[in-house]
Structure 1
Amino acid sequence: MTDAKSNPLHQALFRILRPMARLLLRNGVPFGEFSELVKRAYVEAALEDFSDGRRKPTDSRAAVMTGLTRKEVRKQREILAGENPVRETTSHANRASRVVSGWVHDTGFQASNGEPAALVFEGPGSFSELVRKYSGDMTPRAVLDELQRVGVVSVDVDSGQLHLKQRAYVPTGDSEEMLQIFGEDVSDLVATIDHNLVSSEHGQQPLFQRTLTYNGVPPDVINEWRERAARQSQALLEELDSWLGPHDRGVSGQEGGESVRTGVSIFYFEEPVQTNKSGDE
Structure 2
Amino acid sequence: MSATLPPLASEQTLKHVLEISQHLVKMLIHSGVGYQMFSNALKPIFYREAISELEAQGVKTTDSALSLVSGMSRREINQFKSDELTHVSSNTMSVPSRVMTLWVQQQLPHKLPFSGNDKSFEALVKQISTEKHPRSIANELQRLGLVDIDKDLVCLMSESYVPFHDIREMEALLAKNVSAHLAAGIHNIYHETHRYLEQSLFVDELSEESVKQLEQYSLELWSHASEQLLNHAMRLSEQDQDQHNATHRFCVGIYQHHDDTDRSK
Task: Bin the TM-score by the shorter chain.
Answer: 0.5 to 0.7
Letter of the 2:224 partner, please give it.
A
Counterpart of 1:238?
227
* Matched ranges for 1:245-256 at <5 A: 245-248=234-237, 253-256=241-244
Query: Matches of 1:49 and 1:180 in 2, distance apart?
Result: 27
Does the alignment pair 1:31 with 2:35?
Answer: yes
Counterpart in 1 of 2:148? none
Whole-angstrom distance in 1 between the partners of 2:85 and 2:226: 35
**TM-score, normalised on structure 1?**
0.56
Could you tell me whether the CA contact under 8 Å between 1:47 and 1:58 is conserved in 2?
A: no
Provide the C-alpha distance between the structure 2 equivalents of 1:187 and 1:73, rounded to a whole number of angstroms.
Answer: 26
Identity %: 17
Say if 1:199 and 1:206, in contact at 8 Å, map to a contact too: yes
Task: Give the secondary structure class of the aligned counterpart of 1:51.
Answer: helix
1:180 aligned residue (154, 172, 183):
172
Give 1:28 deviation, angstroms. 0.7
Counterpart CA distance in 1 for 2:85 and 2:52 is 12
Q: 1:67 to 1:82 in 2, by over 3 A?
A: closer
The structure with the larger Rg is 2
**Structure 2 residue corresponding to 1:268, chosen from 243, 256, 259:** 256
How far does residue 253 in structure 1 lie from its aligned partner after superposition?
A: 4.2
Name the structure 1 match of 2:70.
66
Q: Is the contact between residue 63 and residue 73 of structure 1 (CA under 8 Å) also seen in structure 2?
A: yes
The alpha-carbon distance between structure 1 residues 27 and 234, as it changes in their structure 2 partners (threshold 3 A), is same
| Offset of residue 271 of structure 1 | 1.6
Residues 184-241 of structure 1 show CA distances to partners (whole Å, capped at 9, x for unaligned) of: 22221221121111223xxx13211110111211002222221111121122122111
Cα distance in 2 between the residues matched to 1:267 and 1:24:
21
Per-residue CA deviations over 1:77-119 (Å, capped at 9, x if unaligned) read 6368668xxxxxxxxxxxxxxxxxxxxxxxxxxxxxxxxxxxx
The residue aligned with 2:97 is none
After superposition, what is the alpha-carbon deviation per residue over 1:39-98, rounded to whole angstroms, capped at 9, x for unaligned?
A: 222111112343148687344432121110133234456368668xxxxxxxxxxxxxxx
**Given the alignment of the two structures, is residue 196 of structure 1 paired with residue 188 of structure 2, yes or no?**
yes
Q: TM-score, normalised by structure 2?
A: 0.59
Shift, 1:255, TM fit? 4.9
* Aligned-partner residue type, residue 198 of structure 1: Y
Provide the rounded CA distance (Å) in 2 between the counterparts of 1:55 and 1:7.
Answer: 24
Extract unaligned runs of 5+ from structure 2: 1-5, 89-163
Distance 2:31 2:260 in 1: 24
* Correspondence 1:207 to 2:202: no
Aligned to 1:10: 14
Matches of 1:248 and 1:81, distance apart in 2? 36
Partner SS for 1:248 = helix
Q: What is the correspondence of 1:151-190 to structure 2 with a 5 Å cutoff?
A: 175-190=167-182
Gapped regions of structure 1 (runs ≥ 5): 84-171
Contact 1:63 1:69 in 2 (8 A): yes
Paired with 2:248 and 2:53, the residues of 1 have a C-alpha distance of 18
Asked whether the equivalents of residues 43 and 62 of structure 1 are also in contact (C-alpha less than 8 Å), the reply is yes
AA in 1 matched with 2:195: P
For the Cα contact (< 8 Å) 1:39–1:76, is it kept in 2?
Answer: no
Measured in 2, the distance between the counterparts of 1:13 and 1:253 equals: 39
Change (3 A) 1:199 1:253: closer
Distance (whole Å) between structure 2 residues aligned to residue 82 and residue 211 of structure 1: 37
Give me the CA root mean square deviation. Answer: 3.2
Aligned residue for 2:256, secondary structure, equals coil
Where 1:175 maps in the other structure, the secondary structure is: helix
